[in-house]
Chain A
Amino acid sequence: MSETEVQPRAYRRPVSTWWWLEKRSYFVFAMRELSSVFVAWFVVFLLMLTYAVGRGDDQYQSFLDWAATPWVVVLNLVTLVFVVLHMVTWFNLTPQATVVRLRGQRVPAWAIIASQYVGLAVVSAFVIWLVTR
């Protein structure tokens, strides 16, 4: 804590538990952090898929049926929204967090962001090709 003596009767404004609802930017931040829960959920979902595939065609088909039940679909729709939020915020903050240099020149923020979307497109195309070919 501070070594300077705080005035005995100085007023300290308490921080509300709901401080992250006080401003739009705080709320977006809280949602960004919450996206990690959906990242973890989808890892669990993919593990269940892998497990079902390992146990044979019947198990795989019944996993797909279960994944089509309304509550799982809704959960995965919400997951998609949060995963996209994570992706957009992560890409946007990268140029602020890292300095990239090419031949001594600092790469501008827009170029860093754009190259991440190019990477996303390449990866997505590869995954789609690998899974559906």
Chain B
Amino acid sequence: MADSIRLQVSRYRPEEGSAPTLQEYDVPLRKEWSVLDGLNYVKDHLDSTLSYRWSCRMGICGSCGMSVNGTPELTCGTFLADLAPGPVRVEPMRNFPVVRDLVVDIGDFMDKLPRVKPWIIRDDEPEPDGEYLQTPEELDEYKQFSMCINCMLCYSACPVYGLDPDFIGPAAIALAERYDLDSRDRGARERLDVLIEHEGVWGCTFVGECTTVCPKHVDPAGAIQRYKLKAAKESVKAFLLPRGAR
């Protein structure tokens, strides 16, 4: 194994106003080093002006998502040895405005997420003492969709979101499904009213890349198609049944 590998890192400095450029750095190639370790080496030893986000280094905080050789990845879980001999192209996540270097503006996602009300909705009055109980089977129903860490790799992989930023997007819909499937929740109707809009589920053309890139195997693409079926059933009911019965 060679003892170094070249990173081609996208640099964008808003004060200079020009489009991003690639800057090259040679970093040590070690078996246990991830792309994020390579970036940290650059920051510590080669170029302290490089900006990027990271936190936990163990694939759970969802901060270090970037485009590695064109694919959306968590850089803490993508290993340099697997990309040898390189060079490794590191760019900011696609489909988001770039603030500086590898840092993107995630404001759009932060605005969209609460729109699907990703929390347990109840209207019990008064609230019961203690917890709402749930069986292991009921937990299994939604567990897969609850693994989302909001890393936004799915938004970065989604061509529909890239073309139409109004699309509410994969993770938000998967999280809506997570709460819909939760036996303790009563908010399915409220979420449906948001997702049945054109910017809700209908923009999705089932490219499926969101599911492919998801580091937590959440399967947003599957969630969206199931939501379409759910929305379609409700709509047919709305057309067929008299008002009172709906």
Q: Do chains A and B touch in the complex (CB under 8 A)?
A: yes
| Chain A residues engaging chain B, CB cutoff 8 angstroms | 1-7, 9-13, 15, 19-20, 22-23, 25-26, 29, 33, 93, 96-99
Determine the residue in chain B with the shortest Cβ distance to A15: B162
Which one of A11, A19, A29, A96 contacts B19 once the chains associate, using CB atoms below 8 Å? A11
Known: A4-B107, A6-B97. 11 other contacts (CB 8 A): A4-B108, A10-B99, A15-B159, A23-B70, A25-B207, A26-B159, A26-B207, A93-B225, A97-B226, A97-B228, A98-B225
**Is A93 in contact with B208, judged by CB distance below 8 angstroms?**
yes
**Is B225 in contact with A97, judged by CB distance below 8 angstroms?**
yes
Measured in the bound complex, the distance between the Cα atoms of B105 and A22 in whole Å is 24
Task: Chain B residues near A99: list those with CB within 8 A.
Answer: 226
**Is B205 in contact with A25, judged by CB distance below 8 angstroms?**
no
Main secondary structure of the interface of A (DSSP, over half): loop
**A18 CB to closest chain B CB, in angstroms?**
12
**Is A97 in contact with B163, judged by CB distance below 8 angstroms?**
no
**Is A96 in contact with B97, judged by CB distance below 8 angstroms?**
no
Task: Chain A residues near B70: list those with CB within 8 A.
Answer: 22-23
**Is A7 in contact with B165, judged by CB distance below 8 angstroms?**
no
Measured in the bound complex, the distance between the Cα atoms of B99 and A5 in whole Å is 12
Which one of B19, B107, B221 contacts A2 once the chains associate, using CB atoms below 8 Å? B107
B94 CB–A CB distance under 8 Å? yes
Task: Chain B residues near A29: list those with CB within 8 A.
Answer: 205, 207-208
Task: Chain B residues near A6: list those with CB within 8 A.
Answer: 97, 105, 107
**Is A11 in contact with B98, judged by CB distance below 8 angstroms?**
yes
Sorting the interface of chain B by its residue count into under 10, 10 to 19, 20 to 34 or 35 or more gives 35 or more
Measured in the bound complex, the distance between the Cα atoms of B16 and A9 in whole Å is 9
Which one of B17, B94, B205, B226 contacts A98 once the chains associate, using CB atoms below 8 Å? B226
**Residues B100-114 near A (CB distance < 8 A):** 105, 107-108, 110-111
**Is B159 in contact with A19, judged by CB distance below 8 angstroms?**
yes
**B137 CB to closest chain A CB, in angstroms?**
9
B14 CB–A CB distance under 8 Å? yes
**Is A10 in contact with B226, judged by CB distance below 8 angstroms?**
no
**Is A3 in contact with B162, judged by CB distance below 8 angstroms?**
no
Measured in the bound complex, the distance between the Cα atoms of B110 and A96 in whole Å is 27
9 closest pairs, A vs B, by CB?
A4-B107, A97-B225, A10-B97, A9-B14, A2-B108, A96-B222, A11-B98, A29-B207, A15-B162
Task: Chain B residues near A93: list those with CB within 8 A.
Answer: 206, 208, 225
Task: Chain A residues near B14: list those with CB within 8 A.
Answer: 7, 9-11
